[in-house]
Chain A
Amino acid sequence: TQCLFTLVIAPDTETLKLTEQQILFYHSTDFEVHRNWLAITHSLPVSKWYHENTSEWTLDYPPLFAWFEYSLSHVAQHFDKEMLVVQNLLYTSPATILFQRLSVIVTDIVFIYAVKECCRSVREEKGSKDLLGHPFFILAALLLWNFGLLIVDHIHFQYNGFLFGILLLSVARHLQGRHLEGALLFTVLLNLKHIYLYIAPAYGIFLLRSYCFTEDNTDGSVRWSSFSPVRLVALGSIVISVGALSFGPFIAMGQLPQVLSRLFPFKRGLCHAYWAPNVWALYNMVDKALSVLGVRLKLLDVAKLPKASMTGGLVQEFQHSILPSVSPSITLICTLLSIMPAVLSIWCRPRGARGFLRCLVVCALGSFMFGWHVHEKAILMAILPFSILAVESREDAGIFLMLTTTGHYSLFPLLFTAAELPIKVLLMLLFTLYSFTSLKKLFRGSLLNPLETTYLLGLVAVEILCEVVYPLSPWQHTMPFVPLLVTSVYCSLGVCYSFIRLYVSLLRQHGTDKHKQL
């Protein structure tokens, strides 16, 4: 029955997504990015893929994704051949748009299948409830109707549904105990989009600890004698063969350095043009506040301050004026430090696939908090897997609500035209209202404390200020970046708070486990 119900609500979302996509005249930069990649993979030989730079949007995803675009391009040529010409920069035609939009919808089938598999592995409570109250139903709705995924994929334009489908499928396979399949899927995913490297530590440690070691000591610590070399070899061969398939041709052509330089462009700045709501947004804000304060108190000379426009819209390096500047290596160290305790905890006290899932969420969120040049869209990497935990425990549900609401709100600047304002507000309300009421009913009681509620209600005030009041004020022309700044700083508070609470819950579980064993 579960499968049936999932299948039933899946078309709902699909129709909704189709409805969204009627915005046929609208196309974002990502739209052009993917069109360009279609053209590159279709019209150039493999050896030129990572050298081509006619468009500023060069191919910067791993090879498997390029092959994915290559296969799409064979369908695309039946819609409009012109979109497959590299020189046709910013090319759009109704057929092109239709094809691109349809390709997102069709590849979403992977996501729907993955959601179905996740729902199958959710723990069910006994007792007959109506369909709407079942955890699996709520999970299916939370995943399929996810606001972030809807707007990023179907309005903005990316193939996240397809990619997250593979991620969730891999998680579901781990929950079902089919670890080799899970590992295979994740390796494929890594070769489709390398941003998932952020959660690779969770995968690596979990597979090593819980799959390669077959037994634990009675206190839960690792029993070294139970190490199974066969399993390690199996895992290794999966990783290596997928990697060889993907990168092999480029290594053979001696292009590996070129490919890697495209994949990891450290020349970009610490923050994206619009700051993702993470620690660095707060850091920048403090720096800015200090410099303004310093100028006011005449402690600083305006002329000596670096002239960095924080919002130019172009991706550029942002120079801090008071606080020390942050280099990529520092962000890397911070990220590693932030995920270390979580990874150590699943090494010392593995708590099965659910412990792994929690660690995965911490890794995703940790790298979002401290990473170099993070996009606001990366928050989805934490939100989507976290949905599975949220329908199973009360505490997680509370954190989930905080994280999703602030995280989703921080995606608002992605859609900035006036015509999209109602759509994004309505969809956001739809999702938020549903997640609050359904989780509240599932766990029979309020999930947030008054302070958290106030903070979330503050988002409404921020929205009204930023999108209604501020554009009418005279500052709109002199300082147009203030709404973005306020949004990202306000949201980063919520995301930081959720991160801390998630950590506390993880470590507390760790503590109680230890306590039990003593």
Chain B
Amino acid sequence: MENWSLVSICVLFGLTARWAVSLNSYSGAGKPPMFGDYEAQRHWQEVTYNLPVHEWYFNTTDNNLNYWGLDYPPLTAYHSLLCAHVAKLINPDWVELHASRGHESYGHKLFMRATVLVADLLIYIPAVVLYSFYLSEGSNKKKVFLCILLYPGLILIDYGHFQYNSISLGLALWGVVVLGLGWDVLGSLAFVLSLNYKQMELYHSLPFFCYLLGKCFKQGLAGRGLFLLVKIAVTVLVTFALCWLPFLSDPGQILQVVHRLFPVGRGLFEDKVANTWCSLNVLIKIKTILSTDTQLYISLTTTLLAILPSSIKLLMKPTLWQFKLALVNSSLAFFLFSFQVHEKSILLPALPVCLLLNDLPLPAIWFLQASTFSMLPLFLKDGLLVPYVVTSLAFLFFSIYLLSALEHCSEDKLRLGPYRRLLICIVRRYGYLSNCINKDHFYFSITAMAGLSFMSVALAPPAQLPDLFPLLVSVFSYLHFLGLLLYFNIVQIAEPPQSVRKNQKKSN
């Protein structure tokens, strides 16, 4: 069958799954007085439409920042404004100042869901198409494409819970794709846009920076490299300036926006997140022992330490393969160690992991499944149990069958050969790490996830431990993330010279 028809069939399938999920409930549906993320997005439309720009980020009589105040960068605000104009055309009640607070209706839900679908269709899906067909190697491009489209975490958060992650992640993916195709300036432009949509994209910023800097070094800082550096720097600055244009007139405005974007006062973590601090909290009550400042320093140091190796390696060797791995390592390290992380932020590492589906099928699928699982408490709160089960099963089935993931777990396929050779000389007994990723462990972990999901739904927790199941879920996923962070770091650091990899590929 021709390529285009298969691609369209895949896209249609992905869209069908998305819309089917979107028929379900959203976060905070029918839960006054605060509702949830859905109301937050609607409220931003109301605020941006009715108030002048300079009041958006300030607490005024018309803008109560304690009720879902705008805490995303300007591009999100502009997007809300655009949506609000469309909403106004359809039904003015949806964005009426004050009066529309907590508005919920069948028509409005349909409208909000449609805005997500449109954004997805315009930004995320084309980027995935381009990535799968231009940047992934080998014969199973279409299969990879379908698997990326069906990643349940993103679908459930965007179309179930309600957020616009497909825009920020899509723009970041555009950055990766364009950089991969060799247009460095456009790539940095796309990434800056993504950063200005959601500040969480900072998790990805270091690899982008190191990759581009490494490329400049490679071309020689004296000649063409310097020119490239200047070009990129100018692009970044101009894009930033354009995005922040309405706020530039007054330094107070800028400070206030920045303050809104990085709410340091909110503590090390909230709810149950599958990261180091929350898991460590089971043993030591860090949140109560340490002061906020100490927490901030500790998390900053550990994060920096965790991302340092992969960044340095990328700086030395700015190839696309290294870049993808560094994106995973950096964003995962941020997720595990940084300050004030949400469970939804796991989508940030999940995006680059999707890009590895073709090269490292088993670890990637494992990670993606664990990431979806780690958000289970959130899904249960939003009433998304059925879509969670169905999309996870569909994803596991498709990815394992299409990418024949379980047949690809020899050391060479897992890119661990060089690491093993390296280690044999140094510490023989640590070699077992490479044996950790195999079929049996995968089956075991999936069964455990299924069991934990079942228990969270069916069993009532003991009275003295009301958070038992969410905690178990996050600690269990945390172990996965930590193990895979190690693994991806090893793969990145121990990568053999380019020529060896190419030969391996040919022999495959």
Q: Which residues of A contact B (CB under 8 A)?
A: 8, 11-12, 15-16, 18-24, 26, 132-133, 418-419, 422-423, 426-427, 429-430, 433-434, 436-438, 441
Contact assessment for B1 and A22 in the assembled complex, using a CB-CB cutoff below 8 Å: no
Q: Scan residues 106-130 of chain B and give those whose CB is less than 8 A from a CB of chain A.
A: 106-107, 110, 117
Q: A18-B390, A19-B390, A24-B386 are in contact. Are A426 and B23 (CB under 8 A)?
A: no
As a 0/1 sequence over residues 366 to 384 of chain B, the CB contacts with chain A under 8 angstroms (1 = contact) are: 0000000000000000000
- B1 and A437: CB pair below 8 A? yes
Residues of chain B within 8 A (CB-CB) of A23 are 20, 23
- Whether B419 sits at the interface, judged by CB under 8 Å, is no
- B2 interface residue (CB < 8 Å to A): yes
Decide: B21 and A22 in contact? CB cutoff 8 A.
yes
Q: B117 near A15 (CB under 8 angstroms)?
A: no
Residue from A19, A423, A433 in contact with B387 in the complex, judged by beta carbons closer than 8 Å:
A19
B12 touches A430 (CB 8 A): yes
* Interface hits, B76-114 → A, CB 8 Å: 106-107, 110
**How long is the Cα–Cα vector from A208 to B17 in the complex, in angstroms?**
48
Q: Are A19 and B1 in contact (CB under 8 A)?
A: no
Asked whether, in the complex, the Cβ of A419 is within 8 Å of the Cβ of B23, the reply is: yes
Which residues of the partner chain A approach B409 to less than 8 Å between Cβ atoms? none
**A12–B390 CA distance with the chains assembled, in angstroms:** 11
Encode contact with A along B117-153: 1 for CB under 8 Å, 0 otherwise: 1000000000000000000000000000000000000
Given known contacts A19-B20, A19-B21, A422-B19, A438 and B1 CB-to-CB distance under 8 angstroms: yes
Which B residues, 227 to 278, have Cβ-Cβ distances below 8 Å to chain A? none
Q: Is B398 an interface residue (CB 8 A)?
A: yes
Tell me the B1-33 residues at the A interface (CB within 8 Å): 1-2, 5, 8-9, 12-13, 15-17, 19-21, 23-24
Query: Residue B67 at the A interface, CB < 8 A?
Result: no
Residues A8 and B9 in contact in the complex (CB < 8 Å), given A19-B391, A19-B394, A430-B16: no
Task: Check if B209 is an interface residue, CB within 8 A of chain A.
Answer: no
Q: Which residues of B contact A16 (CB under 8 A)?
A: 13, 16-17, 394
Q: How far is the CB of B67 from chain A (nearest CB, A)?
A: 28
Interface of B is mostly: helix
Report the bound CA distance from A436 to B386 in whole Å: 33
How close is B215's CB to chain A, nearest CB, in angstroms?
40
Report the minimal beta-carbon distance from A472 to chain B, rounded to whole angstroms.
12
Interchain nearest-CB distance for B213 vs A (Å): 44
Contacts of A20 in B (CB 8 A): 20
Closest 5 CB pairs of A and B: A437-B5, A15-B394, A19-B20, A430-B12, A18-B390
The verdict on B443 contacting chain A, using a C-beta distance below 8 Å, is no
Contact sample, A vs B, 14 pairs, CB 8 Å cutoff: A12-B394, A12-B398, A15-B394, A16-B17, A19-B387, A20-B20, A21-B386, A22-B24, A418-B107, A423-B16, A430-B12, A430-B13, A430-B16, A438-B1
B397 at the interface (CB under 8 A from A): yes
Inter-chain contacts of A132 with B (CB < 8 A)? 1
The reply to whether the CB of B401 lies closer than 8 angstroms to some CB of chain A is yes
- Separation in Å of the B78 CB from the closest CB of chain A? 26
Total number of residue pairs linking A and B with CB closer than 8 Å: 75
B19–A426 touching, CB < 8 Å: yes
B393 at the interface (CB under 8 A from A): yes
Give the residue among A21, A23, A430, A438 with the most B Cβ atoms within 10 A: A430
B residues touching A (Cβ–Cβ < 8 Å)? 1-2, 5, 8-9, 12-13, 15-17, 19-21, 23-24, 106-107, 110, 117, 386-387, 390-391, 393-394, 397-398, 401
Q: Within 8 Å CB of B398, what residues of A?
A: 12
Q: Are B117 and A441 in contact (CB-based, < 8 A)?
A: no
Contact of A133 among B1, B9, B13, B387 (CB under 8 A): B1
Out of B9, B20, B107, name the residue touching A22 (CB < 8 Å): B20
CA of A15 to CA of B390 in the docked complex: distance in angstroms?
6
| Contact of B1 (CB < 8 Å), options: A418, A430, A441 | A441
- For A436, the closest partner residue in chain B by CB is B5
Identity of the chain A residue whose Cβ is nearest the Cβ of B113 in the assembled complex? A419
**Are B386 and A427 closer than 8 Å at their CB atoms?**
no
Q: A22-B24, A418-B110 are in contact. Are A11 and B387 (CB under 8 A)?
A: no
Name the distance in Å between A280's Cβ and chain B's nearest Cβ.
Answer: 34
Interchain nearest-CB distance for A448 vs B (Å) = 16
How close is A133's CB to chain B, nearest CB, in angstroms? 7
Looking at the assembled complex, report how far the CB atom of B369 sits from the nearest CB atom of chain A, in whole angstroms: 15
**Which residues from B are CB-within-8-Å of A24?**
24, 386
Q: B198: shortest Cβ distance to chain A, in Å?
A: 26
**Complex: A437 Cα to B24 Cα, angstroms:** 33
Other-chain residue from A12, A436, A437 in contact with B397 (beta carbon distance below 8 A):
A12
Across the two chains, which residue of chain A brings its CB closest to B17? A19
Tell me the complex Cα distance, A8–B397, Å.
10
Q: How far is B111's CA from A419's CA once the two chains are assembled, in angstroms?
A: 10
Chain B residue nearest in CB terms to A418: B110
A426 and B394: CB pair below 8 A?
no
Tell me whether B117 and A422 are in contact (CB under 8 A). yes
Neighbour of B15 across the interface among A15, A426, A434, A438, CB < 8 A: A426
With both chains docked as a complex, state the minimum distance between the C-beta of B475 and any C-beta of chain A, in angstroms.
Answer: 29
- A-B contacts besides A19-B387, A20-B20, A22-B24, 5 pairs, CB < 8 Å: A19-B20, A19-B391, A22-B21, A430-B16, A433-B5
Residue from A11, A22, A422, A434 having most chain B Cβ neighbours under 10 A: A22
Query: In the complex, which residues of chain A have a beta carbon less than 8 angstroms from the beta carbon of B19?
Result: 422-423, 426
CB distance from A68 to the nearest CB of B (A): 26
Q: Enumerate chain B residues within 8 angstroms of A15, measured Cβ to Cβ.
A: 390, 393-394, 397
Give the complex CA separation of A438 and B386 in angstroms. 32
Q: How far is the CA of A20 from the CA of B17 in the complex (A)?
A: 8
Given A15-B394, A22-B387, A423-B16, verify A433-B8 contact (CB < 8 Å): yes
Q: Indicate if the CB atoms of B1 and A426 lie closer than 8 Å.
A: no
Question: Which residues of chain B are near A423, meaning CB under 8 Å?
Answer: 16, 19-20, 23
The answer on a CB contact under 8 Å between B397 and A434 is no
Q: With the chains together, A133 CA to B106 CA distance in Å? A: 43
Distance A143 CA – B110 CA, assembled complex (angstroms):
31
- A15-B393, A20-B20, A438-B1 known; A426+B12 contact, CB < 8 A: yes
